[in-house]
Structure 1
Amino acid sequence: MNHRNKNNHLGRKYGHRKSLLSNMASSLIKKKKIFTTLAKAKALRKYIEPIITKSKINTIHSRRNIFSYLRDKTAVSELFKDIFEKIRERPGGYTRIIKTGFRFGDQAPLSFIELVDFNEIYISKRIKKPVKVRRSRKKIKKESNEQN
C-alpha cells in the first residue's frame, strides 16, 4: 500500500533522486522547456513550483535557499533576472506538462515540461485571435431568385 507517501520515488534512492530533480530543475530554468518521461515531469513540477514561488522575494536569504535546491549558480541568477518578471506576477501554475507519446523501446509515456510564460505559440494565439464577422446570406438568395 502507498498510503501517506506523497512523492514519486522514481525507482531511485534519496541522493540520486535529489540530484536528478536538481539537475532537471536547473535545465528547465535555463532552457525553459525539457523533454522527459511523464513520471519525471510530474515529480519535477512538485519540485520546481515552490522554488519559483520562493524566487518572488529577491533577498540574499531566498537566493541561498534556492541555491541549496538547485546547486547551480547560473540557474539561480537566471531565475532572479528580469526575464522571469512575467512569472513573478503569476499566482501559481508556472509549469505546463504536454504529453507527446510513448518511447519506442519500453513504451514509457514521454512529455514536455515547460515554463508557461515562455511559450510563444500559446501566447501569440491568445493575443492575436482573429475576429470572425458573420455576414447575412439573405442578399445572395434574393439576387439568385431575381435571376431565375
Structure 2
Amino acid sequence: MAQRKLGRKSAPRKALFISLANALFKNERIETTEAKAKEVKRIAEKLITKAKKGTQHHRRQVMSTLQDKETVQVLFDEIAPRFAERQGGYTRILKVGPRRGDSAPMAILELVE
C-alpha cells in the first residue's frame, strides 16, 4: 500500500513519521494535519501490535523504528499492557477543522481508552 508523500523526499518523510510516532507514545495525543495523522496511525498501530507480543525480537524491531529508548520503554511497559485484550484499533483520529494560517485540515490523533 502506497503512502502519502506529503511534499517530502523519503528520508525527511520517514523522520517526520518517526518523530510524530514518538510524540504520540509519549503524550498519548498529538495535533497535526489529517494526512499526517492518517499515515502515523498506520505506523503506530503496527508498533503497538509488536509491543503487545513483548519479546526481545519485537522490542528490537520497535527500537529500530522509533530510535528512542524512553519511548520504547513507555510503549512496552505502559501502553502495550493497556491494549492486551484489544484486537486492534488502538488509535482514533478526531477532525478539528482548518488551521488558521493556511486552512489545512487539522486532526487530533490519540490513543483510545
The TM-score, its normalising length taken from structure 1, stands at 0.73
Residue 63 of structure 2 corresponds to 67
- Higher RCO (CA-CA < 8 Å; seq separation 6+): 2
Task: For 1:83 and 1:64, locate their aligned partners in 2 and report how far apart those are by CA, in whole Å.
Answer: 17
Give the superposition deviation at 1:59. 1.4
Residue 115 of structure 1 corresponds to 111
Alpha-carbon RMSD across the aligned residues, in angstroms, is 1.2
CA deviation map 1:78-137 (0-9, x unaligned): 0111454221221000100000010112110011000012xxxxxxxxxxxxxxxxxxxx
Residue 58 of structure 1 corresponds to 54
Residue 3 of structure 2 corresponds to 7
CA deviation map 1:9-41 (0-9, x unaligned): 111111101110001001100100011010100
**DSSP 3-state at the match of 2:2:** coil
**Aligned ranges for residues 1-148 of structure 1 at < 5 Å?**
6-117=2-113
Task: For 2:78 and 2:93, locate their aligned partners in 1 and report how far apart those are by CA, in whole Å.
Answer: 24
Task: For 1:95 and 1:82, locate their aligned partners in 2 and report how far apart those are by CA, in whole Å.
Answer: 15
Give the superposition deviation at 1:8. 0.7
Runs of 4+ aligned residues of structure 1 deviating over 3 Å after TM superposition are none
CA deviation map 1:55-93 (0-9, x unaligned): 111111111100111011111000111454221221000
**DSSP 3-state at the match of 1:53:** helix
**DSSP 3-state at the match of 2:87:** coil
